[in-house]
Amino acid sequence: MQQALSKNGNSGILMTTMESALNWARSSSMWPLLFGLACCAIEMMATQAATYDLSRFGMELMRPSPRQSDLMIVAGRLTHKMAPVLRHLYDQMPEPKWVIAFGSCAASGCLFNNYAVVQGVDQIVPVDIHIAGCPPRPEQLIHGILSLHEKIHGEHLSTWYDGNSNQSA
């Protein structure tokens, strides 16, 4: 009986808000920008392998172009010499855009507390999710991505249309 109903087009009604549908689409089709700086980049690349399969979250491959990406994953220590390049790539990304600081060096500078290393990527670009570890495991990156999905599901459309985005720095 139920199979006959679905063949006739009487399978039911799906109702949601435009905000929920848009947030679901944004979180389910993120395209990350490959920005690996140190040993954490190896763990980030391992997340794309068959064992962890980041594709199941809508992230088929890491993009080499910032104009095709909406998620920047900064993996590893950021030097002051590389900081303007990071900012330039971030500025080229279309809105809305998100940033994950992957690893203790990206999040806080870690044990590289010297003149050459930026003490946290959030001094250069706004960071949405910090993932600790030296180097963090691929499971931690997946957890960070799922945490970012939860954050995106809670966003309001008025944030983007009013120009009051907390993403701009």
Q: Where are the domains of the chain?
A: 30-154
Q: Which residues of 84-96 are buried (b: 16+ CB within 10 A; e: fewer)?
A: eebeebbeebeeb
SS3 63: strand
Class of domain 30-154: alpha beta
Mean pLDDT of successive 10-residue stretches along the chain, which has 169 residues: 54 75 80 82 82 78 81 88 92 89 82 81 91 87 89 75 49
Instruction: Give yes or no for a cis peptide into 96 (omega within 30° of 0).
Output: yes
What pLDDT does 169 receive?
42
